[in-house]
Chain A
Amino acid sequence: MFARLVYESFRRQKRRKLLAGAAITLGVTVATAMIAVATDIGDKISRELRTIGANLVVTPQDDTLDVEIGGVHLEPPSDHAYLNEGDLPKIKGIFWHNNITAFAPMLPTNVTVGFPAEGGTKKLEVTVLGTYFAKQISFGKDTFVTGVRKTHSWWRVSGSWPDDDSSTVLIGERLARTLPYKPGSDIDLAGHPAKIAGILSSGGAEDDEIVAPLALAQQILGKPGAVRRIYVSAVTKPEDALARRDPKSLSGAMYDRWYCSPYPQSIAYQLQEAIPHSHAEQIRQVAQNEGAVLTKVEGLFFLVTLAALLASALAVSAAMATAIFERRGEVGLMKALGAGKMAVASIFFAEATLLALIGGLAGFVAGGVLARQIGRAIFDSQISVQPVLLPVILVIAVLVTTLGSATAIRSAVSLDPVYALRGEL
């Protein structure tokens, strides 16, 4: 009888059920989409912050002192320690390899460039910076493209970008004002002929340098396979008290937690493990501030999500209250036929729960689609809803729906059937 009452109510009152169901679906859609966006926003903004540049740097363990002013390296090149280019793909083998968005090796070396000027040939000491532009690298079965075009996305080139396997170079824009070279002209770099592919504008020290493929810089320096430092761009989590602890002082379980969180510190530690004789460190300007910005954005969306949950809970309970209020006549009839308060209330609660489950499921699917649309429209990447969220969302939907209907159900069942049937309050 109970089941039939509930079933018939759904069959016969399609319009009303549809209205209440629509309200629940809408509420759950907004809640699901907002939760998905709020949980993913940190990762998305962290990727956007990679525009500011690499947040980690790897240098040789027994490093010599850099003597560099305004893009000119003044130290004697012979006594440097170097990393091995062959170790670079190992960066993609660390625990958090999916968080490494790109890396770029750097090898500065000095050359004397002669150029025609008024009254004969002039000579100028210039730093040639060897790096990857967009180099294809393979590690195991994976291949990926990495280089300055990803780590230094603010660099602008007029002309074209050089090819990593060629001997074409970029010339910094301030240097280009001094040297009479244009894109397409040939330049002699300490006996190595090269062609200028484009003029680089970086807003930094590179504007006074020549940027060349790594292999060419290694030839000029006479050290095949040498790399001076590696800039690594990694998606990280804002650091907290645990992140700042020294890994050596941590107990087993705490160490695992530290190692398996994408803190700048733990990724640096893993890079150091992967590349022999290296020292990895966070670039504090980028890494520290990134944490601050991320915390603020995440906090903001957490609070906005709370507001969204509040609004959708309110919408659902308002719709339920209205729906039940309209059915006072029915309540009166059931009570006149001898149904107790409990029996009537349980029918309404069963209906509300059923409605919440159906609406919740539909809302979860719609919320997933909405989150994906938001992700695609704003971040050009997916925001996916974790399936784990489904039971949580359903429980919230049922709770909000039943709680929202509770007051209305209570006032409906305590009504005198006579008044209810006559349509009076």
Chain B
Amino acid sequence: MRATSASAQKLAAGRSRGPNTSMFLRMLLRAAVRRRGRATTALLAMVVAAAVATTVLDLYADVQAKLRSEFRNYGANIVLAAKNGASLPPDALAKVESRLNGRGFAAPFALIVARTRSGQPVVVASTDFDRVRQLDRWWSVNRWPSASGEALVGVHALAFVSQQKQPFDLTFDGRTISLTPVGTVQTGAAEDNRVYLSLPDFVSWTGVQPSTVEVAASGSTEEITAIMRELSQAIPAAEVRPVRQIMEGEARVLGKTRATLFAASALIIVTAALCVLSTLTGWVFDRRKDFAMMKALGASGGLLNAFFAAEAAILGAVGAVIGYAAGIGLAAWIGRINFHASIAPRFSVLPVVMAASIAVTLLAAIFPISLLGRVQPAVILRGE
């Protein structure tokens, strides 16, 4: 009661000098400090709602990029093949990598059919092992070749080319090479039936240059289409084509995941907004005595509306800022434990969360104020 009468006196004093801004601010501040408990509850609801909204918005904006990088583990999504069975120009790989500029991986491949000493035909492939390790991460390899004369043999081909991992000979075009099988590769696909050599060994043995370059480019569909266009302009001797099943599968999964996340985010944000709405409505309603007192002392309807609206807006803004900070922390944590890569804070989310918070708090204040505005202050002050 003391507080109310003190503020009433001050209000009266203020009014004798006409409306004054410092009084308005003081009342706003006092209202928050005096009724700490209720104000804190309302603020807490606002903070949690803003935090959850920031988290899902942040995730929604970033999930596509995060999942795209998972899909790059599927390997190439673009293949450059020399036209009509020829070889690619020797600078093809360098051109591809300069176009990619770090946005993906590329590896060259060359294929021929050689014969073992017993006359068994076998496909011999050649590639750059360091690049293949980045491009085709699903290859299950027990040991990668590191020196000249070492070969990586498909698990299925091993029995046909070499007994007990003994060195073996292969013949192509009348020339023979002797190789040591240092490791095996298992993929469940064509690679299991092949023998892999390093490019220098292969070229000096066969004289055949790589005929395809497989590229795993990262980026959105438009970016990849642009990369494909650039590549076919830069290397006219090659046919550039997409690996369609990877592109289509990726698009489908990303689309569906995003749509589901959108539905989930909408549900969460609506729930959080309703929570804030019900808490704040209760809070404003609770302060009907302040309202009645101010009105009894002669405050105009417009001034009162402005007072409560300012209060609600400040609560919304403060809640949004704290909630935003908590939300980006939460999103970063989710990014780290789920995607092992942090989700960068998006500053574009802040104005959205801020505007939505203020809108919700204002909405929450309008209903009780319009209700109270129609009631005589005497009725409220008598506690009815």
Interface residues of A (CB under 8 A from B): 19, 23, 26-27, 30, 33-34, 37, 41, 44-45, 48-49, 51-53, 56-57, 63, 65-70, 74-75, 152-154, 202-204, 281-289, 292-293, 296-297, 299-301, 303-305, 307-308, 310-312, 314-315, 318-319, 321-322, 325-326, 370, 374, 377-379, 422-424
Chain B interface size, under 10 / 10 to 19 / 20 to 34 / 35 or more? 35 or more
Number of A-B contacts (CB under 8 A): 209
Could you say which residues of chain A place their CB within 8 Å of the CB of B303? none
Q: Given A69-B111, A74-B121, A284-B187, A299–B338 Cβ distance below 8 Å?
A: yes
Q: Roughly how many angstroms separate A379 CA and B59 CA in the complex, as a whole number? A: 21
Q: Roughly how many angstroms separate A319 CA and B55 CA in the complex, as a whole number? A: 23
- Which residue on chain B has the smallest CB distance to residue A51? B249
- Which residue on chain A has the smallest CB distance to residue B186? A284
Could you say which residues of chain A place their CB within 8 Å of the CB of B52? 307, 310-311
Could you say which residues of chain B place their CB within 8 Å of the CB of A19? 278
Interface string of B123-152 (1 = CB under 8 A from A): 100000000000010111000000000000
Could you say which residues of chain B place their CB within 8 Å of the CB of A44? 256
Within the complex, the shortest CB–CB distance from A371 to chain B, in Å, comes to 10
Q: Is the interface of A mostly helix, strand, loop or mixed?
A: helix
Could you say which residues of chain A place their CB within 8 Å of the CB of B70? 289, 292-293, 296
Is B113 located at the chain interface by the 8 A CB criterion?
yes
B244 and A203 contacting across the interface, CB-CB below 8 Å: yes
A297 and B279 contacting across the interface, CB-CB below 8 Å: no
B279 and A318 contacting across the interface, CB-CB below 8 Å: yes
Q: Roughly how many angstroms separate A19 CA and B267 CA in the complex, as a whole number? A: 19
Is B120 located at the chain interface by the 8 A CB criterion?
yes
Is B310 located at the chain interface by the 8 A CB criterion?
no
Interface residues of B (CB under 8 A from A): 1, 41, 45, 48-49, 52, 55-56, 59, 63, 66-67, 70-71, 73-75, 85, 111-113, 120-123, 136, 138-140, 156-157, 160, 186-190, 193, 241-246, 248-249, 252-253, 256-257, 259-261, 263-265, 267-268, 270-272, 274-276, 278-279, 281-282, 285-286, 330, 334, 337-339, 383
Most chain A CB within 10 A, of B186, B187, B278, is at B278
Within the complex, the shortest CB–CB distance from B278 to chain A, in Å, comes to 5
A67 and B260 contacting across the interface, CB-CB below 8 Å: no
Q: Roughly how many angstroms separate A310 CA and B48 CA in the complex, as a whole number? A: 9
A65 and B245 contacting across the interface, CB-CB below 8 Å: no
Q: Given A52-B245, A296-B67, A325-B282, A311–B121 Cβ distance below 8 Å?
A: no
Could you say which residues of chain B place their CB within 8 Å of the CB of A326? 282, 285
A and B contact pairs by CB, cutoff 8 A, 27 listed:
A26-B271, A30-B271, A37-B260, A48-B249, A48-B253, A48-B256, A52-B248, A67-B123, A68-B193, A69-B111, A69-B113, A153-B245, A203-B242, A283-B187, A284-B189, A289-B73, A289-B74, A296-B338, A301-B264, A308-B271, A312-B271, A314-B48, A314-B49, A322-B281, A326-B282, A374-B263, A377-B263
Could you say which residues of chain B place their CB within 8 Å of the CB of A48? 249, 252-253, 256
- Residue in A68, A69, A292, A301 whose beta carbon sits within 8 Å of that of B73 in the complex: A292
- Residue in A23, A53, A315 whose beta carbon sits within 8 Å of that of B245 in the complex: A53
Closest 4 CB pairs of A and B: A423-B383, A322-B282, A315-B275, A52-B249
- Which residue on chain A has the smallest CB distance to residue B272? A311
Within the complex, the shortest CB–CB distance from B363 to chain A, in Å, comes to 15
Q: Roughly how many angstroms separate A367 CA and B322 CA in the complex, as a whole number? A: 31
- Which residue on chain A has the smallest CB distance to residue B258? A378
Within the complex, the shortest CB–CB distance from A80 to chain B, in Å, comes to 13
A30 and B338 contacting across the interface, CB-CB below 8 Å: no
Could you say which residues of chain B place their CB within 8 Å of the CB of A311? 48-49, 52, 268, 271-272, 275
- Residue in B45, B113, B249 whose beta carbon sits within 8 Å of that of A67 in the complex: B113
- Residue in B113, B249, B275, B338 whose beta carbon sits within 8 Å of that of A303 in the complex: B338
Within the complex, the shortest CB–CB distance from B340 to chain A, in Å, comes to 9
Within the complex, the shortest CB–CB distance from B334 to chain A, in Å, comes to 5
B267 and A33 contacting across the interface, CB-CB below 8 Å: yes
Q: Roughly how many angstroms separate A322 CA and B49 CA in the complex, as a whole number? A: 17
B252 and A321 contacting across the interface, CB-CB below 8 Å: no
Q: Roughly how many angstroms separate A305 CA and B242 CA in the complex, as a whole number? A: 36
Could you say which residues of chain B place their CB within 8 Å of the CB of A377? 259, 263
Q: Roughly how many angstroms separate A286 CA and B63 CA in the complex, as a whole number? A: 21
A281 and B188 contacting across the interface, CB-CB below 8 Å: yes
- Which residue on chain A has the smallest CB distance to residue B66? A296
A51 and B245 contacting across the interface, CB-CB below 8 Å: yes
A325 and B264 contacting across the interface, CB-CB below 8 Å: no
A300 and B338 contacting across the interface, CB-CB below 8 Å: yes
B121 and A67 contacting across the interface, CB-CB below 8 Å: yes
Q: Roughly how many angstroms separate A293 CA and B338 CA in the complex, as a whole number? A: 11
B339 and A296 contacting across the interface, CB-CB below 8 Å: yes
B241 and A203 contacting across the interface, CB-CB below 8 Å: yes
Could you say which residues of chain B place their CB within 8 Å of the CB of A67? 113, 121-123, 193
Q: Roughly how many angstroms separate A325 CA and B71 CA in the complex, as a whole number? A: 53
Q: Roughly how many angstroms separate A318 CA and B43 CA in the complex, as a whole number? A: 12
Could you say which residues of chain B place their CB within 8 Å of the CB of A34? 264, 267
B113 and A74 contacting across the interface, CB-CB below 8 Å: yes
Within the complex, the shortest CB–CB distance from B229 to chain A, in Å, comes to 17
Within the complex, the shortest CB–CB distance from B104 to chain A, in Å, comes to 16
Q: Roughly how many angstroms separate A154 CA and B73 CA in the complex, as a whole number? A: 19
A300 and B59 contacting across the interface, CB-CB below 8 Å: yes
B190 and A45 contacting across the interface, CB-CB below 8 Å: no
Within the complex, the shortest CB–CB distance from A176 to chain B, in Å, comes to 15
Q: Roughly how many angstroms separate A289 CA and B286 CA in the complex, as a whole number? A: 57
B278 and A318 contacting across the interface, CB-CB below 8 Å: yes
Q: Roughly how many angstroms separate A285 CA and B245 CA in the complex, as a whole number? A: 12
Q: Roughly how many angstroms separate A322 CA and B339 CA in the complex, as a whole number? A: 39
A303 and B334 contacting across the interface, CB-CB below 8 Å: yes
Could you say which residues of chain A place their CB within 8 Å of the CB of B286? 325
- Residue in A26, A49, A75 whose beta carbon sits within 8 Å of that of B253 in the complex: A49
